[in-house]
Copies of this chain bind each other. A is one copy, B any other.
């Protein structure tokens, strides 16, 4: 947004939507105007345009909030929708086998964005929810995504400031590089007490039609030494199932990858 030399009226209207967040889901007109540093009168006009289309709506208390129509249109985003639809049955199965938090995330810019999370009353409480962002260095899904990201992105993120969430968060670039190499080698990431002092994560890559890593799946469980390791086979199987559904090449035990084509018969000649 800030790249544009002179924002158009459409861009000024869209920027209003960025005033809303999980922490501030409802705003008055003057709060919006104050956040944007612009007069209430022009804000009122722009808000009216967003209201008419359904990008905003007014809640029971008269404050503005993101509208159901924007949510509906947003639900069509292929990076969220196709991944979510392919993943959900596998997330359900993994959740049912473990009763822990299971989630999928993608990399957007320098951050991890959670696309879906399945949990229940019995799962360890964690902050991740759809649309939530966290830095990649400290999350299991982030390390999986970063391990398979272009080297320039890895360098940029490891060179930048890295937030320390707990006393155990790894913020040392050399140590993180070793972690990423291990993720590439083993095919999964196990991390302990990186975001919260009480939880561990096991994460694995989700691959698309060209075998590129397009998302990551993780399970977050209570930290109890290295016991999280027992979830590795289930996480790998679920991630592989989602990848296959998304058209990733089938991985054969002999290491040869073949394209995941429409099913054919098993008898020669069929």
In the complex, are the beta carbons of B76 and A25 less than 8 A apart? yes
A9 with B9: CB separation less than 8 A = yes
Tell me which of A71, A73, A76, A89 has the highest count of chain B C-beta atoms within 10 A of its own C-beta. Answer: A71
Take A76-B25, A78-B65 as given contacts and tell me if A119 and B131 are in contact as well, using a CB distance cutoff of 8 Å.
Answer: no
Residue A165 at the chain B interface, CB threshold 8 Å: no
Tell me if A22 counts as interface (CB < 8 A to partner B).
yes
Q: Is A108 an interface residue (CB 8 A)?
A: yes
Q: Tell whether A59 is near chain B: CB-to-CB under 8 Å.
A: yes
Chain A residues with CB under 8 Å of chain B are: 1, 3-4, 8-11, 13-15, 17-18, 20-22, 25-26, 46, 49-50, 52-53, 55, 57, 59, 65-81, 85, 88-89, 92-93, 95-96, 106, 108, 113, 118-121, 129-131
Return 11 A-B CB contacts under 8 Å, by A number: A8-B49, A10-B49, A25-B78, A67-B79, A71-B79, A73-B74, A88-B119, A88-B120, A92-B95, A93-B120, A96-B96
> Nearest residue in B to A53 (C-beta to C-beta)?
B14
Flag if A77 contacts B67 (CB, 8 Å): yes
Q: Of residues A79, A92, A95, A121, which shows the largest number of chain B Cβ atoms within 10 Å of its Cβ?
A: A92
Known: A17-B73, A67-B79, A74-B74. 5 other contacts (CB 8 A): A9-B9, A15-B53, A70-B74, A71-B75, A96-B120
